[in-house]
Structure 1
Amino acid sequence: MQSQTRPRAVLWDFDGTVANTEPVWIASQIGVMASYGVPYAYEQAVKLCGVSAAVSIRALFDAHEAVHGEPPQIEGPALWQQIVDGVIQRIKEEPLPWLPGARELLIELHAKGVPMALVSASPRDMIDAALAKVPDGIFDVVIAGDEMPRSKPAPDSYLLAAERLGAAADDCIVVEDSIYGTAAGRAAGAAVIAVPCMQDLDEHPGQLLIPTLAGLTVNDLARIWHELKEAADE
């Protein structure tokens, strides 16, 4: 794919898009909340997939107060770090749970010189642990959730990623799995490939909903970008 063709760059989410790490986050949330005497349900944790740390902390504090009548005796960031530490430990100890087609597509895009960014709502220390298990040099830009004043569904992180890659966001493709993430990609003006993982996703203009990345090629991305942009112009 030459630089003058589209997409100019591909902007990837991580959790639930590149790797099936959402269950790791869910297990860590449930385990940490259990240590505070809160029976946190799987369904509650699924709702937090793709959201910012601030939104997650509010939900966890609300769950604690619903059980104990008061918030936990710990600062929100410290509670969240306990969850993050559990995720990091699992990522370091176990093979990266690649989602179907993600690794192959990343390698093909990289081999053909397509600029790529990793744009995650997860914190930098967790992303760094995961990147240690990703082929070197795959991502030209990495933006973590704790580096952005506004997280997804705000478009800021995707707009910044495109800017750092020297591309307009509407010349890019965003690959996402969550409600907040796909909304952020659309708000940035990018074409969005939506691959549901833990949450059901709806159809939207400018977005292609597919069940898996397995078998998807660089040429497919070019076709998808043009089809989505042409449909938007009709």
Structure 2
Amino acid sequence: MSVELRAVLFDMDGTLVDTEGMWWDACAAVAAELGLELTDAETGHVLGRPVEHVAAHLLRRAPSSPSSSDTADTTDARLAEVGGWLIEAFAERIAEGVTPLPGAIRLLDDLRAADMPVALVSASPRQIVDTVLRTIGAERFALVVAAEDTVRAKPLPDPYLKAAANLGVAPAECVAVEDSPTGLAAAHSAGCRVLAVSGGMTVPDDVLIMDSLERVDLPLLRRLIEGRTSIG
């Protein structure tokens, strides 16, 4: 039985807007405050991850990280504190302006003109998402799922499952557009078809990799949902 494309679900950071460098810089600044140097080996713990995950990762590495004898309340308070630092550092950077990635606005507008429902599915907190939406336009999205909207975050499927359910469509009727292994894993495990806009990743055979959104259009997304991943 053929499947029809009924919605397109977009990651935000690194997919629609060029903010991953800002997020990395914010994490590096907070790491330095904790006496750490952030390295490329930690990319998987930083990019595409929710604030809580990054805060926990930094605290595990920090020389002054809580010991096993600390109470759970103390540990939770420290996680919340470092998470707040991360959000503040990131917010300061994106407040200076964000740049949509090539092809992003054109694709969003084409989908809107075709009455194709579009959702934003981000691991960033709502505060960050709302700031970015002032640049790319909240009106371009029928639904926004931010970090606070699900208990479990990417790479688990919950954010994509919530987006599909709230749009009233099945995950298999959605194409998710992602740029990180973490987001790709979340979308794929949710049952979405996935288009990756970043090279250098090992992906399942049914995931299409493109070098940018400039060559992505609605006909291509429809071919992808049908299981035809060729760009020809």
Q: TM-score normalized by structure 2? A: 0.87
Give the corresponding residue for 1:119. 121
Question: Which of the numbers 50, 56, 63 marks the counterpart of 1:52?
Answer: 50
Percent identity, aligned pairs only?
32
Using the TM superposition, give the Cα deviation of residue 42 of structure 1 relative to its aligned residue in structure 2, in angstroms. 4.6
Per the alignment, do residues 26 and 52 of structure 1 end up closer, same or farther by CA in structure 2, a change over 3 Å counting? same
Give the residue type in structure 2 aligned to 1:9: A
Give the residue type in structure 1 aligned to 2:33: S
Corresponding position: 1:214 with 2:190: no
Query: Any residues of structure 2 matched to 1:95-174 within 5 Å, and which?
Result: 96-174=98-176
Within 2, Cα distance between the matches of 1:186 and 1:44?
A: 23
Using the TM superposition, give the Cα deviation of residue 121 of structure 1 relative to its aligned residue in structure 2, in angstroms. 0.8
Within 2, Cα distance between the matches of 1:165 and 1:116?
A: 9
Give the corresponding residue for 2:24. 26
Q: TM-score normalized by structure 1? A: 0.86
Deviations 1:52-98 (A, max 9, x none): 33321221002213xx576799611221111111211221212x221
Structure 1 unaligned blocks of 5 or more? 230-234
Within 2, Cα distance between the matches of 1:42 and 1:23?
A: 12
Within 1, Cα distance between the matches of 2:108 and 2:11?
A: 12
CA contact (8 A) 1:119 1:143 kept: yes
Per the alignment, do residues 140 and 194 of structure 1 end up closer, same or farther by CA in structure 2, a change over 3 Å counting? same
CA contact (8 A) 1:191 1:228 kept: no
Give the corresponding residue for 1:91. 94
Query: Any residues of structure 2 matched to 1:174-189 within 5 Å, and which?
Result: 174-189=176-191
Within 2, Cα distance between the matches of 1:139 and 1:196?
A: 22
Give the corresponding residue for 1:80. 83
How many equivalent pairs are there? 221
Using the TM superposition, give the Cα deviation of residue 205 of structure 1 relative to its aligned residue in structure 2, in angstroms. 3.3
Deviations 1:174-232 (A, max 9, x none): 000111111111111111001127xx311303311221111221112112221349xxx
CA contact (8 A) 1:30 1:45 kept: no
Give the residue type in structure 1 aligned to 2:82: L
Question: Which of the numbers 176, 195, 200 marks the counterpart of 1:193?
Answer: 195
Give the corresponding residue for 1:225. 225
Corresponding position: 1:17 with 2:19: no
Within 1, Cα distance between the matches of 2:223 and 2:205?
A: 16
Within 2, Cα distance between the matches of 1:152 and 1:190?
A: 14
What SS does structure 1 have at the residue aligned with 2:23?
A: helix
Per the alignment, do residues 53 and 100 of structure 1 end up closer, same or farther by CA in structure 2, a change over 3 Å counting? same
Structure 2 unaligned blocks of 5 or more? 68-73
Which region of structure 1 is more displaced relative to structure 2, 72-81 or 14-23?
72-81
Within 1, Cα distance between the matches of 2:84 and 2:53?
A: 14
CA contact (8 A) 2:100 2:136 kept: no
Alignment root-mean-square deviation, CA = 2.3
